Amino acid sequence: MAFAGKVWKLLVGIKDGLSLLFLLLFFSLLFGLLSARPSPAQVRDGALLLDLSGVVVEEKSVVDPLQVFMSGQQPVTEHTAREVVHALEEAATDERINSVVLDLSRFIGGGHVHMQAIAEAIDVVRKAEKPVFTYAMGYADDGLMLASHASEVWLNPLGGAVVAGPGGSRLYFGELLQNLDINARVYKVGTYKSAVEPYILDGMSAEARENAESLLGALWEEWQANVKKARPDLDIDRVTKNTVEWVEASQGDLAKAALEAGLVDKLGTYEEFGERVAEVAGEDTFNEEPGAFAHTELGPWLADKPFDSEGDAIGVVTIAGVIVDGMEGPGTAGGERIAGLLNDALDDDLKALVVRVDSPGGSVLGSEEIRLAILRHKAKGIPIVVSMANVAASGGYWVSTPADRIFAEPETVTGSIGIFAVIPTFERAAAEWGVNGDGVRTTPLSGQPDLVDGFTPEVDAILQSSIEDGYADFLSRVSEARNLTTAQVDAIGQGRVWDGGTARQIGLVDQYGDIDEALAYAAEKAGLADGEWHANYLASGPDQYDTLLRGLLGGESEAKAPKQGDMFAMVASRQQGLLRQAHQDLELLLGTKGMQAYCLECPVSPNAELAAEPRKGWLASMLASFAR
């Protein structure tokens, strides 16, 4: 009896200890939530400091705490282009802000359209006669586009600036898979649908090369035109066409070479940079560290300058990232999740719907689920407008077909009208190891699909027919939406990718314009005058608990992307990018995601990775393909 009493006391003690622990955790989280939220009271006279550590995205991704804890790495900071642009435009008209500072020391990059939008907002600040300063250890293409619009561009004397231009190589696994006796079974429609080529070839096909040269050439011309207009004295030809001569003229000093070519204006440490900014912004009375200047950070500024919420609501649904089946996202376009957002909004009194697309496509079934949800809003008789960001290709174009009008930028990548699927089988590898399949079939489909023994000709034919049917569906949707014949769509389809300028000429896009112009058009069609409406983003971005988690993990404030290093560090970074690309390609091969409307050639945001949906058995995925 005494022993039982001791056990009972032990259990009660454990219970009380756990209760106390959970209470402490609860109040710690509550305190973190309240203290992590930026306050308008933190706004001060001086400069608006935009520390663009990390990446600029269309939609912030959610943080998976388990993945973070398992990896031991903090999430990379993300900034939505919409918030950065809004912050800059508000700074142009607020008397408390006398200058803007862009700290690009840890800036990784963002899409071309996002960079263009931020650059235009910088121009707005400068037209208000407020100087804009930028600082970095190293500048690459995206950072240089932003810096070219600034009043003063500063570079660390040990840093450098490099203009690489779009493009590069990717990995091809055709010979490797043959050597491993893996049969990558490819089912596709589209002469230019090159997403499957890495699994069957050792290099680009002539058609893929032709398409890539045309697309990347157009994007490169747009980048140069933008930068040259902002900085006419910049000698881009010398930097890009005579690179070795340009660097050797400065005895290998990349910072000095950047200064002489006009890529930057001044060389100096961050302390020297801060002292220069303080001449305009004023001294920081709260911080006595060298180089400190009076400033307001992005979080408090946005808290003080919320987005307009007056008037009738125009809904905005964001389709950002690879389109997958299921509830993934934000940051990944989970078809079920986005369709759910749209279905929930059917009861809202939305006067119009703007579909913001920044996706290279992905799952056909996920794309169709989103398209049908958009059509439910269209059935209510409200205007449907699509606004394309950096990429709206393949499945990203599929979801755009319900639009009454499509807006895009000249730098937008779109098209890629095509369908494919890749399924690996291992009959050759099995035979090499002495494993052979044998049995009795009552029909050609008995025991199929067979991972080890391979597919029968009938299965191959059925799968290819399913892909061709999917392509026919794609053509018919585009044909109906764009008032073109299916033959005309097929001629500009075949998986070919187009820049926004060409897409407008061939009828895939209606007009140039950003998200604001798309919203204004939707409001006009809904009969709403200026000041009578606001944009209502449908659950766009992480909620407050995700923001708290980022803060607790250091993702929002303390966790920074690594500072830019020298040229050797940039080479190492490129190597890491190549490894990530290889991982993505193999995930696409082995992930068994069913039919794909995905654009391989499309540039993606620096933080974008191929979405890894919960792994279904490959038999289930095959059956999904049959069921289509």
Catalytic residue among 61, 363, 394, 466: 394
- Residue 556 banded pLDDT, cuts 50, 70, 90: very low
In this prediction, residues 597-625 reach a mean pLDDT of 48
Phi and psi of 272, rounded to 5°? -65, -40
- Predicted confidence at residue 346, as pLDDT, reads 95
The question of whether 625 is a catalytic residue gets the answer: no
- Predicted confidence at residue 288, as pLDDT, reads 78
In this prediction, residues 130-159 reach a mean pLDDT of 95
pLDDT at 602 over 80: no
pLDDT at 503 over 70: yes
Element (H, E) at 237: helix 236-241
- Predicted confidence at residue 612, as pLDDT, reads 36
Interior angle at CA 547, CA 541 and CA 553, nearest 5 = 130
pLDDT at 615 over 50: no
Q: What percent of the chain has pLDDT over 70?
A: 81
The question of whether 193 is a catalytic residue gets the answer: yes
- Predicted confidence at residue 15, as pLDDT, reads 67
- Residue 519 banded pLDDT, cuts 50, 70, 90: very high
State pTM to two decimals.
0.85
Q: Which residue has the higher pLDDT, 62 or 525?
A: 525
Q: Which of 67-76, 94-103, 177-186 has the lowest mean pLDDT?
A: 67-76
pLDDT at 458 over 50: yes
Comparing C-alpha atoms, which of 136, 131, 172 is closest to residue 152?
131
- Predicted confidence at residue 174, as pLDDT, reads 87
Q: What is the mean pLDDT of the chain?
A: 84
**How far apart are the C-alpha atoms of 546 and 575, rounded to whole Å?**
31
- Residue 39 banded pLDDT, cuts 50, 70, 90: confident
Q: Which residue has the higher pLDDT, 604 or 245?
A: 245
Phi and psi of 75, rounded to 5°? -65, 140
- Predicted confidence at residue 559, as pLDDT, reads 43
SS3 label, residue 508:
coil
Query: Which amino acid, residue 558?
Result: E
Task: Judge whether 136 and 159 are in contact, CB under 8 Å.
Answer: yes
Q: Which residues are CB-neighbours of 235 under 8 A, at least 6 positions away? A: 261, 262
Q: What percent of the chain has pLDDT over 90?
A: 55
Mean pLDDT comparison of 58-72, 252-266, 282-296, 449-463, highest-scoring range: 252-266
pLDDT at 557 over 70: no
Phi and psi of 98, rounded to 5°? -105, -5
- Residue 260 banded pLDDT, cuts 50, 70, 90: very high
**How far apart are the C-alpha atoms of 288 and 309, rounded to whole Å?**
39
| Residue 330: cis peptide before it, omega within 30 degrees of 0 | yes
| Residue 449: cis peptide before it, omega within 30 degrees of 0 | yes
The gap from C-alpha 128 to its chain's centroid, in whole angstroms, comes to 31
In this prediction, residues 481-486 reach a mean pLDDT of 94
Per-residue model confidence as pLDDT tens digits over 358-415:
999 999 999 999 999 999 999 999 999 999 999 999 999 999 999 999 999 999 999 9
Q: Which of 99-113, 330-344, 606-620 has the lowest mean pLDDT?
A: 606-620
How far from each other are the two terminal CA atoms of the chain, in whole angstroms?
67
Catalytic residue among 193, 351, 540, 605: 193
- Residue 72 banded pLDDT, cuts 50, 70, 90: low
SS3 label, residue 47:
strand
Q: Which of 58-62, 100-104, 551-555 has the lowest mean pLDDT?
A: 551-555
Element (H, E) at 491: helix 486-492
Element (H, E) at 590: helix 567-590
- Predicted confidence at residue 2, as pLDDT, reads 64
In this prediction, residues 492-499 reach a mean pLDDT of 93
- Residue 75 banded pLDDT, cuts 50, 70, 90: confident
Give the CB-side neighbour count of residue 212, counting CA atoms within 13 A.
19
pLDDT at 614 over 70: no
For helices 2-36 and 544-553, the axis angle rounded to 10 degrees is 100
In this prediction, residues 322-351 reach a mean pLDDT of 93
- Predicted confidence at residue 555, as pLDDT, reads 44
- Residue 618 banded pLDDT, cuts 50, 70, 90: very low
In this prediction, residues 525-539 reach a mean pLDDT of 94
Q: Which residue has the higher pLDDT, 419 or 551?
A: 419
Structural domains in the chain, sorted by start: 43-163+231-304 (3.90.226.10), 312-556+567-601 (3.90.226.10)
Q: Which of 117-126, 188-197, 240-249, 602-611 has the lowest mean pLDDT?
A: 602-611
Q: Which of 204-208, 271-275, 313-317, 335-339 has the lowest mean pLDDT?
A: 204-208
Query: Which amino acid, residue 621?
Result: S
Token pair in block for residue 123: 């121009």
